[in-house]
Amino acid sequence: MFSNKASFKNNFLKRLEMLCGKSFSESSARDQYQTLGSMIREFVSNDWIETNERYLAAQGKQVYYLSIEYLLGKLLRQNLINLGVEETVQAGLKELGIDLDELEELESDAGLGNGGLGRLAACFLDSLASLNLPGHGHGIRYKHGLFEQKIVDGYQVELPEQWLRSGNVWEIRKLDSAVKVPFWGKVEAKMEDGRLVFHHLNVETVTAVPHDMPVIGYKTQTVNTLRLWNAEPTQFPIHADVLKYKRETESISEFLYPDDTHDEGKILRLKQQYFLVSASIQSILKTYRKQHASLNQLNEHVCIHINDTHPVLAIPELMRILIDEEGYEWEQAWHITKNTISYTNHTTLSEALEKWPIHIFQPLLPRIYMIVEEINERFCRELWEQTPGDWKRISDLAIIADNFVKMAHLAIVGSFSVNGVAKLHTEILKKREMNQFYQLYPEKFNNKTNGIAYRRWLLKANPKLSSLITDAIGPSWMSSAEELTHLLNFQNDSTFLDQLLKIKNDNKQRLADIILDKTGVKVDTGAIFDVQVKRLHAYKRQLLNVLHIMHLYNRIKEDPSYSIVPRVFIFGAKASPGYYYAKKIIKLINTVAEQINNDPRVGDKIKVVFLENYRVSLAEKIFPASDVSEQISTASKEASGTGNMKFMINGALTVGTLDGANIEIKELVGPSNIFTFGLTADEVLHYYQHGGYQSREYYHHDYRIRQAVDQLVNGFFAGVNNEFEPIFDSLLEENDQYFVLKDFASYAKIQEQIGETFTDKAQWQKMSLTNIAQAGYFSSDRTIREYADDIWGIKSLK
Ligand SMILES: *Cc1c(COP(=O)(O)O)cnc(C)c1O
């Protein structure tokens, strides 16, 4: 159906009539989108079935990736690219007078994630399928993904996201594979045949209905599965409050929690976690039992990977099934469980380490809680036997302590592998945050530096640059990212560098049009496009960027003849709706933007824009148009970052701290092709431990800082009273926990150097090329190969 243009057109027209009950001339763009989507789904269905048959026949190991988030974005064009039919379809549609870009606009982003963690899961799925690896995702089919952000009078306003409003062409609802998930009730222990058995009684059940989406590999026959679970009522009890039950059940898959580093501790969130885990494990075991009579060798054929601690209840859930349903003794069940589960840690921020109060946990999941208690007791006994009398060690490491269940501790104790997401992050885990666990289980700890689906972030997002690369080094970089290093041969090829510049400018023009359309601000593509797009967080330090912009503005005002290399500062960021401080920063960015953009003394020297509703599809238009990538987190705080990699592969130069994967970027491109500044992680951690930082000293001794910080509260911004006092206080009263003022001077200095470097076009393009050429390392294909070889033990199956 996609073999050539004519057959595509033929099929498309026939199917459109069948599917929509309209003639082509009456059809809407949405009808056309639905038609194309259903064609792709049908086209892959054979490969999808065969992939599963191949996996079963091979009897090898399979991995199941459990993640509470998947930030997929749009799928239409990526699927066409991966199937190798994009050109045929685009040309065929064109002859029918249809613009593929316009159809793509109709697709909603599947925004089932907050940021980096959910996007990583999406990138991993792409790489698993593209490498023909037997790996599937399990997640929740949230009815509403991450909220839609509007900016009104400079403030963030949240609207519910509605990606399912016109259905989801990619999914198949599989009612026959539904499973039941029990909550509440009580546990009864009884002796039966000389064995203590447990019954979970008076439960409230929720039905989990899988919706499967095909995950199509890049130019392979492999189609893996992303299984998203929908929560539905099981039975309507006659006497109970039917409506209440229906509402409560459905609410489990209603909303994605919009906070990416802090768990609210709400019961619904814990329900979501257990819902995901219980449904997924039941389904995994159902498949497993088709081939294996017992679960004795489960860990040799199945690996269950938990993306952060949100799915950590996979551990007690698997124990429960093995013991209560399969009749295993504790020791054997523990052996199987521990060797089946692997775990990725995503953060060392203490506020982000999940813990659940027993008073919420125990009533909701009584049997699971009993098992966690037993795991904890046995673990503490083991610790006692190693170091009798060392109560401190036991209370530090215990899974249950101070009336909380510590999810990261459960994850480490109940798994065979614990990995960090960048070299520095893993070192901090081993040497500091989880040091006591590292001493106990050194063999479990390992590093897997994150990566990105570069076929989305370069091939799809930046088609012009992609063609230039293919013309230069041939097409095989699209499946072997490391071949991008061949571009280093063009470092001194001025024709090539000129083409690179031209493409960058075209992409900047495309973004400039979007900026004008969305914000009314006209920006010059000759300026440096200096971009910070990511979630809004104190530790990511959008504030450092803003204070520096305010400082530049002050300089221009004081000396109108002051010449600077023109800059457009571009921001995009969602703040968690309950994160008061982050919302203040958004208001500050917009207030500064308003003032600067309308000051005739500034003119085109500086523009500041905030693009609302940052998400995957917008990101795809931003990275290709960026000159400077802002990665300025307080060192030690950003576990890896993946935005930094997307900028790099699109030729932006990084201004960054020595944090997360920035360090590995620096190793690859060399110190002269990146702009680093600021405290190191060791210095930051030393200050946290030993004190010695006084933000007021920096305020008093640096006029630039004092001026900008005072402007937050001295009426400098018309019409905003006391608005920014909390920001002022965070810097001075609370002693600037994120070292914004401490790093200000070195940041301002490196920014000046960036301006100078940019004026040397040839030099800049050469640096840009080096970044593109070295970015292949950050392909998630590389990351996934490492997971497959070192952790999961799965093999490619063609
Ligand atoms: C990559 C990505 C992120 C993560 O960005 P960081 O800069 O690594 O925090 C967040 N949101 C979206 C939409 C992304 O594409």
Write out pLDDT tens, residues 133-180: 999 999 999 999 999 999 999 999 999 999 999 999 999 999 999 999
Ligand 1, closest atom to CA 660? 8
Structure tokens given for 756: 């100078």
Nearest to 653 by CA among 547, 760, 495, 544: 760
DSSP, res 431: I
Unique residue bearing structure tokens 């952790």: 791
Q: Which two three-digit tokens encode residue 272?
A: 């979501």
> CA–CA separation, 352 vs 260, rounded Å?
8
pLDDT > 70 in the chain, percent: 99
Distance from the alpha carbon of residue 788 to the mean position of ligand 1, in angstroms: 24
User: pLDDT tier at 787 (50, 70, 90 boundaries)?
Assistant: very high
Query: Which pair of tokens denotes residue 743?
Result: 């790093």
Which alpha helices (DSSP H) does 598-737 contain, by range?
A: 616-622, 643-649, 662-669, 681-690, 695-701, 703-711, 725-731
Give 382 Cα–ligand 1 centroid separation in angstroms. 41
CA distances (Å), origin 277, targets 314, 421, 792: 5, 23, 19
What's the pTM? 0.98
Cβ neighbours around 402 below 10 Å, total: 10
Compute, in angstroms, the gap from residue 119 CA to the centroid of ligand 1. 7
pLDDT digits (tens, 9 = 90+) for 1-50: 899 999 999 999 999 999 999 999 999 999 999 999 999 999 999 999 99
- With a 6 Å cutoff on the Cβ, whether 615 touches ligand 1 is yes
User: Mean pLDDT over residues 109-136, rounded?
Assistant: 98
Q: Tell me the angle at which helices 494-519 and 761-774 cross, rounded to the nearest 10 degrees.
A: 90
CA of 114 to the centre of ligand 1 (A): 9
Which DSSP string corresponds to 715-754? S-STT-SSTTHHHHHHHTTT--TT-HHHHHHHHHHHHHHH
| Topology of the domain covering 462-475+492-518+525-680+739-766 | Rossmann fold (3.40.50)
Q: Is 615 a catalytic residue?
A: no
26 alpha carbon – ligand 1 mean position (Å): 40
Which residue from 74, 61, 25, 71 is spatially nearest to 300, judged by alpha carbons? 61
| C-alpha distance across the termini of the chain, in Å | 23
Tell me the β-bridge partners of 73.
Answer: 110
Give CA–CA dist 479/471, Å, rounded: 16
- Annotated catalytic residue, options 534, 587, 605, 607: 534
**549-561 pLDDT tens trace:** 999 999 999 998 8
534 lines ligand 1 (CB under 6 A): yes
Whether the predicted pLDDT of 798 surpasses 90: no
- Going by alpha carbons, the residue nearest to atom 1 of ligand 1 is 643
DSSP letters spanning 463-515? HHHHHHHHHHH-GGGGT-GGGGGGGGGGTT-HHHHHHHHHHHHHHHHHHHHHH
Indicate whether residue 116 lines ligand 1 (CB < 6 A): yes
Domains 59-74+109-415 and 462-475+492-518+525-680+739-766 share a fold: yes
Tokens of 688: 């946290």
- Cα separation values, 258 from 161, 313, 535, Å: 11, 21, 11
Residue 394 Cα to chain centre, angstroms: 34
Residues 6+ apart with CB under 8 A from 216: 44, 79, 82, 83, 129, 223
303 close to 792: Cβ distance less than 8 angstroms: yes
Q: Could you tell which of 457, 542, 642, 662 is best to mutate to test the pocket of ligand 1, judged by most ligand atoms within 8 Å of the CB?
A: 642
766 is written with which tokens? 């050469």
Distance from residue 125's CA to the centre of ligand 1 (Å): 17
643 lines ligand 1 (CB under 6 A): yes
Name the E strands within 295-391. Answer: 302-307, 341-344, 355-357
Q: Which atom of ligand 1 is nearest to the CA of 618?
A: 13
DSSP 623: G
- How far apart CA 255 and CA 267 sit, in angstroms, is 13
3-state secondary structure of 670: coil
Please state the atom number of ligand 1 nearest to the C-alpha of residue 533.
7
Which two tokens mark 190? 């009884």
Higher pLDDT, 235 or 533: 533
Query: Is the beta carbon of 113 within 6 A of some atom in ligand 1?
Result: no
Burial call 247-275: b when 16+ CB within 10 Å, e when fewer:
ebbeebbbbbbbbbbebeeeeebbbbbbb
Tokens 């069948």 found at: 18
Residue nearest atom 7 of ligand 1, based on CA coordinates? 643
Q: Which residue has the higher pLDDT, 232 or 720?
A: 232
Determine the Cα–Cα distance for residues 769 and 468; give it in Å rounded to an integer: 12
pLDDT at 653: 98
| Residue 600 near residue 623, CB atoms below 8 Å | no
**Ligand 1 within 6 A of CB of 346:** no
Q: Which atom of ligand 1 is nearest to the CA of 640?
A: 8
Gap between the Cα atoms of 533 and 542, Å rounded: 9
Mean pLDDT of 211-222: 98
**Ligand 1 atom 9 nearest Cα:** 534
Ligand 1 pocket, residue 451 CB under 6 Å: no
pLDDT of the residue at 241 = 83
Nearest-CA residue for atom 5 of ligand 1: 643
d(CA 115, ligand 1 centre) in Å:
5
| DSSP secondary structure letter of residue 325 | I
* Cα–Cα distance measured from residue 139 to residue 24, given in angstroms and rounded to the nearest whole number: 37
Q: Which residue has the least CA distance to atom 4 on ligand 1?
A: 116
Residue 620 tokens read as 């795809």
400-401: strand order across its sheet:
355-357, 404-406, 400-401
User: Going by CA atoms, what residue is nearest to atom 6 of ligand 1?
Assistant: 643
The set of residues, in sequence order, having a beta carbon less than 8 Å from that of 462 and lying 6+ positions away, is 503, 507, 623, 624, 650
Over residues 403-456, the pLDDT tens digits come to 999 999 999 999 999 999 999 999 999 999 999 999 999 999 999 999 999 999
Q: What are residue 593's phi and psi, to 5 degrees?
A: -60, -50
Please give the Cα distance from 613 to 160 (Å, whole number).
12
Q: In testing the pocket of ligand 1, which one of 78, 114, 421, 535 has its CB within 8 Å of the most ligand atoms?
A: 535
Residues 371-394 have a mean pLDDT of 97
Please tell me the residue having the least CA distance from ligand 1 atom 11: 115
User: pLDDT exceeding 90 applies to what percent of the chain?
Assistant: 95
pLDDT at 697 over 90: yes
∠ CA(655), CA(659), CA(660), 5° rounding?
A: 110
CATH number of 59-74+109-415: 3.40.50.2000
Using a 6 Å cutoff on CB, does residue 119 contact ligand 1? yes
Checking phi first, is residue 587 left (phi over 0); if not, alpha (psi -120 to 50) or beta? Answer: alpha
The H-or-E segment that residue 756 falls in is: helix 740-759
Partners of 609 in beta bridges: 570
Amino acid at 433: E
739 CA to centre of ligand 1 in angstroms: 23
Residue type, 465: L
> Is the Cα torsion angle 389, 395, 396, 399 positive or negative in sign?
positive
> Residue ranges of the domains in the chain?
59-74+109-415, 462-475+492-518+525-680+739-766
Question: What sign does the CA torsion over 381, 385, 386, 388 have?
Answer: positive
Tokens of 539: 């530790």
Ligand 1 centre to CA of 534 (Å) is 5
Q: Is 540 a catalytic residue?
A: yes
650 alpha carbon – ligand 1 mean position (Å): 15
CA–CA distance, 611 with 504 (Å, rounded to integer)? 20
Catalytic residue, candidates 222, 642, 676, 770: 642
Active-site position among 138, 271, 305, 535: 535
The pLDDT of residue 239 is: 61
In the annotation, is 239 catalytic? no
Per-residue model confidence as pLDDT tens digits over 534-550:
999 999 999 999 999 99
| 117 CA → ligand 1 middle, Å | 8
Pull the structure tokens for residue 75.
Answer: 């799928």
- Residue of the nearest CA to atom 12 in ligand 1? 115
Calpha distance 410→405 (Å, rounded): 8
| Ligand 1 atom closest to the CA of 615, numbered from 1 | 13
Give CA–CA dist 12/96, Å, rounded.
10
Respond yes or no: is residue 519 known to be catalytic: no
Tokens standing for 104? Answer: 């793509």
Which atom of ligand 1 approaches the CA of 116 most closely?
4
265: left (phi over 0), alpha (psi -120 to 50) or beta: left
Q: Which two tokens stand for residue 532?
A: 């910070």
Ligand 1, pocket-test mutation among 149, 533, 638, 650, most atoms within 8 A of CB: 533
pLDDT of residue 395: 96
Q: Of 310, 346, 460, 587, which one is the catalytic site residue?
A: 346
Torsion of CA 610, 611, 612, 614, to 10 degrees: -120
- Whole-number Å distance, alpha carbon 67 to ligand 1 midpoint, is 16
User: What local confidence, expressed as pLDDT, does residue 349 receive?
Assistant: 85
**CB 572 less than 6 A from any atom of ligand 1:** no
Q: pLDDT-derived band of residue 348, with 50, 70 and 90 as boundaries?
A: confident
Specify the residue with its C-alpha closest to ligand 1, atom 10: 115
149 lines ligand 1 (CB under 6 A): no
| Whole-number pLDDT of residue 238 | 61
pLDDT digits (tens, 9 = 90+) for 560-580: 889 999 999 999 999 999 999
**Bridge-based pairing state of the strands 179-183 and 204-216:** antiparallel
Distance 116 CA to ligand 1 centre (A): 5
Query: Which of 74, 77, 646, 742 is labelled catalytic?
Result: 646
Q: Give 77 Cα–ligand 1 centroid separation in angstroms.
A: 20
**Marked catalytic residue, from 74, 540, 551, 637:** 540
The per-residue pLDDT for range 289-344, each reduced to its tens digit, is 999 999 999 999 999 999 999 999 999 999 999 999 999 999 999 999 999 999 99
Q: Closest by alpha carbon to 80, among 218, 221, 223, 225?
A: 218
Burial level of 755, CB count in 10 A (0-12/13-18/19+)? middle
115 in ligand 1 pocket by Cβ < 6 Å?
yes
Instruction: Assess whether pLDDT exceeds 70 at residue 658.
Output: yes
Q: What is the pLDDT of residue 236?
A: 66
